[in-house]
Structure 1
């Protein structure tokens, strides 16, 4: 049975005034609480919120990270975005809810009450206070205050590039008090690990571990919250753009000795390989910090390849010179042993026509090519094996 329109209108008006009166009562009670605390009891934010001056104020801190912004290897700067969850008890912000319409909490601007003088100790910018004038802090009737300052944290982070690009970096975030000693304000850690509320993955780094703990400063005067974050570099980009082309380029050196010396292309081919490694080394150096704290193993590998490239250019040049020797000259004892070791069939033919054999310098060049193919292949495989063993054990 439908209600008469008049009855519906009366119910609507009564409910409006009832809820309006409740809201007005709550607002009036909050005003009374503020008047009692700030006017009658003369609350002063400059005073540490402890009625017993010998008792320290315990400030509980936890951190949640919403994303990694960057890790600048050159500047040694680590940047994350997140917020702190800071709690403490203000003994001067206490009231009895039953005397104030059962109001148990309200919010108040940050600049109106006492807050701990926290700052980022190892930051790269000028130190400044947390939060801002637009922050409203919830206050409970027991005096518990909660503060959620949102921060873009940029700190110093020493970078170890030894195992680049399979490296793991350990960065530290340190929050401390500026003026209050630990006997006055004591920091405690609310959690052992950093939270990841609404965390957004980074394209270069992934967090493998983190830890949060409280420590004292160097003089054991101020307490500080230290957060350590371990970052593992994602290697897919570097594998396909650095490592794989570098390994393939190293294997191409073997093909330099498949080119006949008399073709005139052997020296230019080895010089091109040498320059290619130089370009790779220059490209890699542009991604690494300019410091001497650590040596990048992949840079050492490329410098060894450059040294081998110089050696290959020397061998190729000697082969070209040998191929253009005077046909009237004969082989030395060492050259004959090399030919017999690597070109036995040709040596048998050579013994029957000694005069013709003595003037055929392409036989010696071919023997050198075979010897260098064996040596280059063995050295290249050895370098690759040693390189990956060091990377896997250390990285």
Structure 2
């Protein structure tokens, strides 16, 4: 063994490409094996994986006749003592560095075939598309090329059209969907590209973010059901508004700042925040209506009177004390000679006919509550349906 190694290294030069004809390229074949995903930071657009590679090429200076050396067909040399293609990432996240360590060994067979098994944690830059968050999938490409060599000097090839994943351990918040490989040549160098497609596991986001937001949005509409006299309306509306703002901040901190497209969830939260702000504003203004004083110089606007009349006649009783057209001299109330609009149905003898002139500020406030409840409930449901339709359709 010592004689063989001494013979092979006697005239070996690590600075000379291992081919007899220096005008020919060294063909290196890369077999990529994915072991695990260490981290995927969407905010920093950084992918960290643990991977191994088997790189083979033919070294014309490492050929011998086994019969002359005790039938030895395989030897190992230190990484720093022989020629190896210096491979680097073309899309690194931080500093550019080559693969390989001094403790690694290169295996040679007697026909000159070299096998370099290396591996490390790779940190690469990966553009993120979060439009369909949290039902999104991301595709990242890891590109390798030989540093310092043109494609006419070192040519890289892939062994198969897919990455080896037999040893891959799935876990965390991402699921591996597919892989692919490709050899690529440009005007300067050759490279190999390994493409990984991951799909996010959305359960955590659904349970801890989306469902609370949906419930908060629907609960916010219930502010119009709280009695005006309770005095809790404004505090209730402001509390929900602050809760939606907190969720908007949480989502913003977990999405990339440099994404070309915004997540549909961001629009969903902005709409929800706008609805909550409008509900809070409308709650304050409606309290002003409810506590307004009824007098000849402060009449209810005709629009509010029309809304209140329509809603009040259809589902409630009008008390005689609330109507300015009722005569108190008789045992039973009488309606004045003003133009009256009769209710569609009269539940009992205590119900009376209502008119726009009999609507008070309290009646107007109650009408605004009912219209606001129905309107915002409809808008909330439309917003929720739009979000799920726009995002879940990506998984089809």
Q: TM-score range by the shorter chain?
A: 0.7 to 0.9
Q: Is the 8 A contact 1:169 1:231 kept in 2?
A: yes
Residue 295 of structure 1 corresponds to 262
Q: Is the 8 A contact 1:326 1:359 kept in 2?
A: no
What is the 5 A alignment of 1:13-52? Answer: 30-39=1-10, 42-52=11-21
Residue 57 of structure 2 corresponds to 88
Q: In the alignment, does 2:143 pair up with 1:161?
A: no
Q: Select 1:230's aligned residue among 193, 197, 204.
A: 197
State the distance in 2 between where 1:292 and 1:194 align: 27
Secondary structure of the 1:49 match is coil
Residue 330 of structure 2 corresponds to none
Secondary structure of the 1:371 match is helix
TM-score, normalised with respect to structure 2 = 0.86
Secondary structure of the 1:102 match is coil
State the distance in 1 between where 2:75 and 2:199 align: 43
Cα distance change on mapping 1:87 and 1:369 into 2, 3 Å: same
Residue 369 of structure 1 corresponds to 369
State the distance in 2 between where 1:353 and 1:312 align: 30
Cα distance change on mapping 1:326 and 1:224 into 2, 3 Å: same
Q: Is the 8 A contact 1:340 1:347 kept in 2?
A: no
Residue 184 of structure 2 corresponds to 215
Cα distance change on mapping 1:201 and 1:352 into 2, 3 Å: closer
> How far did residue 347 of structure 1 move?
6.5
Structure 2 gaps of 5+ residues are 327-356
Q: Is the 8 A contact 1:327 1:361 kept in 2?
A: yes
State the distance in 1 between where 2:322 and 2:171 align: 73
TM-score, normalised with respect to structure 1 = 0.87
State the distance in 1 between where 2:201 and 2:171 align: 9
Structure with the higher helix share, 1 or 2: 1
Q: Is the 8 A contact 2:55 2:116 kept in 1?
A: yes
Residue 78 of structure 1 corresponds to 47
Residue 114 of structure 2 corresponds to 145
Cα distance change on mapping 1:36 and 1:177 into 2, 3 Å: same
Deviations 1:180-229 (A, max 9, x none): 11111111111111112432223121211111111124xx2200011111
Residue 383 of structure 2 corresponds to 383
Q: In the alignment, does 2:276 pair up with 1:305?
A: no
Secondary structure of the 1:181 match is coil
After superposition, the CA RMSD in angstroms is 2.0
Cα distance change on mapping 1:359 and 1:327 into 2, 3 Å: farther
Q: How many residue pairs align between the two structures?
A: 362
State the distance in 1 between where 2:39 and 2:244 align: 29
> How far did residue 126 of structure 1 move?
2.5
What is the 5 A alignment of 1:90-129? Answer: 90-129=59-98
State the distance in 2 between where 1:175 and 1:224 align: 5
